[in-house]
Amino acid sequence: MARRWWRWGGPGPEDGRDREGPDPGPVAAPGVAAVTGTKASRTGVLVALQAGGRPVWTPRDYGAYGREGFLKNPFVHRAVRMVAESVAAVPWVLMDGLAEVDRHPALDLLARPNPRDGRAALLEAVVGHLMIAGNAYVEAVSVDGSPRELHVLRPDRMRVVPGPDGWPAAFDYAVNGRTLRLPASAEHGPAPVMHLSLFHPLDDHYGAAPMEAAAASLDVHNAATAWNKALLDNAARPSGALVYGGAGGLTDDQFERLQRELVEGYQGARNAGRPLLLEGGLDWKPMALTPKDMDFLEARNAAARELALVFGVPPMLLGIPGDATYANYQEANRAFWRQTVIPLATRVAEAFGRWLLAGGEARPGDRRLAFALDLDQVPALAGERDALFARLAAADFLSRDEKRVAAGYGPDSGDEGDPTDRREARSWT
């Protein structure tokens, strides 16, 4: 008589145990008719059934990235938050050429974009959507052509509507079965919607999300975490099988009793360390690799480092062990700001400037307003700023005005009250 076996313990798709019972026999391939005369696909018989061998990937959509990445993976969550919060923390200044503008409606609007959010919350949402979806949409609520409120819209609810020339003519916002069409341009003032997207080599309208490039590493890390949790729930015992080699085989009552004793007496964290008692020709056969054989920890750390790489965050800042790229934490933090935060913050500031400031589309010779980053107020770059000032102070061949320009300031007017240094704009035009 053939040996009967029952798989006990180890991670599994349900509770870690294979169901007992007789062999169901050959399984019909998908598409093969079960009843004579029923229509079926001719190619259905070509489908082969096999266990394992093919990975299961997270669906490539915004909802899956949000659930499996930001809401489920600690490294993705922290990386996205670090980038979004750092970009939102960089102060902006409104510049008219080399002169700073003190007052402007755009500054007031960004300081209080809507009754619920402030500037930091608005920019964090924009950058968070860029990291997860590759696209960010901001709606301007205007009165008589002047924007009064700004609202961030979810990118999974937005759809670009191309015009006859291929450029976006409108945006469709769909939620709860209802769709609202927002025009892509306005006769007066800023357009109703600003669409900010990251570079995508294969799409004309939508950006490529960093989360999409990190999807494979995300699945590996999440699968390793789930496997580890299932292993701990099973008292850290790998999968195996009890094989009965005696003559005559087990009766149904004996098989059910053995199954019940294994589940109640040996499986689960509460039975950790309890020895397994074998009798009557039973033998334990391991059926899975141990964590040591799988190089479990290194695989998880390698996936975590790849996630950090995609989002531009040094692994050291996320607490990932085994990475010695940077000499110390300070150097890693400076690299994070220079290579990730400042380029993205510049991109976001330029997009808001082109959208909100009428001067961004002025004719040559007219006033051209633009948002700029005030990096002097970034603590992480204080060491670079001090070194720059020291080099300029020692440069005797430069005049005072040349040193000011090299440091990012305008020429010295000689009068602190001179209106050419700091200006005021009270209207949108």
Q: Where does a domain end: 271, 286, 301? A: 286
Does 28 share its domain with 47? Answer: yes
Does 137 share its domain with 155? Answer: yes
Query: Would you give the DSSP letter of residue 68?
Result: I
Does 337 share its domain with 389? Answer: yes
Does 251 share its domain with 143? Answer: no
Q: Where does a domain end: 255, 286, 317? A: 286
* Confidence at residue 99, expressed as pLDDT on a 0 to 100 scale: 82
**Res. 405 pLDDT band, cuts 50 70 90:** confident
Provide the CA 330 distance to its chain's centre, in angstroms.
Answer: 24
Does 159 share its domain with 204? Answer: yes
Does 26 share its domain with 131? Answer: no
Does 35 share its domain with 157? Answer: no
* Confidence at residue 202, expressed as pLDDT on a 0 to 100 scale: 87
pLDDT of 95-138, one tens digit each? 888 788 888 999 999 999 999 999 999 999 999 999 999 999 99
pLDDT of 199-245, one tens digit each? 989 888 888 989 888 888 888 888 888 877 777 776 555 566 656 66
pLDDT of 341-376, one tens digit each? 999 999 999 999 999 986 444 444 446 789 999 888
Strands 99-103, 422-424: pairing kind: parallel
> Among residues 189, 61, 80, 162, which one has the least CA distance to residue 124?
80
List, in sequence order, every residue forming a beta bridge with 222; answer none if it has no partner: none
CA–CA dist 56, 62 (Å, integer): 17
Does 163 share its domain with 132? Answer: yes
Q: Based on the structure, what is the number of domains in the chain?
A: 2
Q: In 3-state terms, what secondary structure has residue 67?
A: helix
Does 421 share its domain with 408? Answer: yes
Q: pTM score > 0.95 for this model?
A: no
CB 194 within 8 A of CB 140: yes
Does 225 share its domain with 260? Answer: no
Which domain, by its residues, includes 49? 5-54+240-286
> Among residues 338, 263, 340, 355, which one has the least CA distance to residue 308?
340
Does 414 share its domain with 281? Answer: no
Alpha helices in 234-295 (DSSP H): 252-265, 291-294
Does 100 share its domain with 230? Answer: yes
> Among residues 285, 256, 5, which one has the least CA distance to residue 276?
285
pLDDT of 133-166, one tens digit each? 999 999 999 888 788 999 999 999 999 988 888 8
* Confidence at residue 165, expressed as pLDDT on a 0 to 100 scale: 86
* Confidence at residue 414, expressed as pLDDT on a 0 to 100 scale: 57
